[in-house]
Amino acid sequence: MNSVAFIIIAILTLAAALGAATLPKLIHAALSFALTFVGVAMFYFLLGAEFVGLVQVFVYVGAVAVLIVFTILLTRRDVDKDRGFNWNGVVIALAVFGGLIFAITKTSGLTIAPPAIAPLSVRQIGQTLMTDYVWPLQCVGLLLTAALIGALVLVMEEKR
Amino acid sequence: MTPTLQLFLIISAALFSFGLLAALSRRHAIFILIGIEMMLAAAGINFIAFWRFAPQPAPPTGVMITIFAIAIAAAEAAVGLSLVIAVYRHYRTTNVDEIDQLHG
């Protein structure tokens, strides 16, 4: 695992995440959000989970980011500026970050190097999905259908 | 020198905190959703990192859970954004401070 690649991806992801959390222009923040998820997908590639990285790019950068941009354009009347910034949120986020860092650095046995692995093939993922995870897979299919119908019902114009 | 598990956990903690910051401090409903998505992605990085650093050969449990988490996050984003549009039709605003009809 390449440490130069790790540093570059980490800087890209965290800078984009900070932009998505704080940029005042909403459309800039949405594009920054898409960049964050490209960075997360790069982390998945770096960790050897290529299939998950590709799924991440397809789902987030391809679908969810476009959905968010569409929603911003559809609700454009008052979205040009995000008025008001709640500073309590900064305090809470910093406190949570401090707590997590404390817990991570105090835990022993985390500074290990990655073991050598055989690459995880898509065939292997598919076989696991169809054997050990077939019930979760069906439940996710049902959930996606329900979410699709629910989203349609929510945005349907009411008849008067 | 290769990055250790600790570095991945620190990066994912930072990403989680940025997501929490967006979810708590932005006043716009879409950006609260974006914050939640960022927190879910941080959890995904943790799952993949723990799978990658586990003693080998390990079953691909972390990979599977991340795939399911991505699917569920996509469903959540679809329903959440359609809620934002429905609320906008009623109130002509997406600022969560102004949507307070149920506030006693």
A119-155 pLDDT, tens digit each: 788 898 899 889 989 999 999 999 999 999 999 988 8
Do residues B56 and A127 make contact, with C-beta atoms less than 8 angstroms apart?
A: no
Rounded to the nearest 10 degrees, the angle between the axes of helix A3-22 and helix A26-46 is 160
* DSSP code of residue B25: H
pLDDT digits (tens, 9 = 90+) for B56-100: 777 888 899 999 999 999 999 999 999 888 888 888 877 877 777
pTM for this entry: 0.89
Picking from A21, A104, A114, the nearest residue to B22 by CB comes out as: A21
Name residue A51's amino acid: F
Residue A34 and residue B34: Cα distance in Å, rounded? 10
The Cβ of residue B104 has, within 10 Å, a number of other Cβ atoms equal to 3
CA distances from B81 to A68, B86, B87 (A): 7, 9, 10
Longest CA span, chain B: 58
Nearest CA in chain A to B53: A114
Give the mean pLDDT of chain A. Answer: 86
Rounded average pLDDT over A84-99: 85
Which DSSP string do the residues of chain A spell out, in sequence order?
Answer: --HHHHHHHHHHHHHHHHHHHH-SSHHHHHHHHHHHHHHHHHHHHHTT-HHHHHHHIIIIIIIIHHHHHHHHHHTGGG-SS-----HHHHHHHHHHHHHHHHHHHHSTT---PPPP-----HHHHHHHHHHTTHHHHHHHHHHHHHHHHHHHHHHSPPP-
Mutate to test the interface with B, among A101, A110, A130 (most CBs of B within 10 A): A110
Nearest-10 crossing angle of helices A87-106, B5-25: 160
pLDDT band per the 50, 70, 90 thresholds, residue A84: low
Q: Tell me if B9 and A110 make a contact (CB, 8 A cut-off).
A: yes
Residues in chain A, how many? 160
| Best mutation target, B2, B40, B46, B67, to test chain A (most A CBs within 10 A) | B67
Write the pLDDT tens digit of every residue in A16-25.
999 988 888 8
DSSP assignments along B73-104, one per residue:
HHHHHHHHHHHHHHHHHHHS--BTTT--TT--
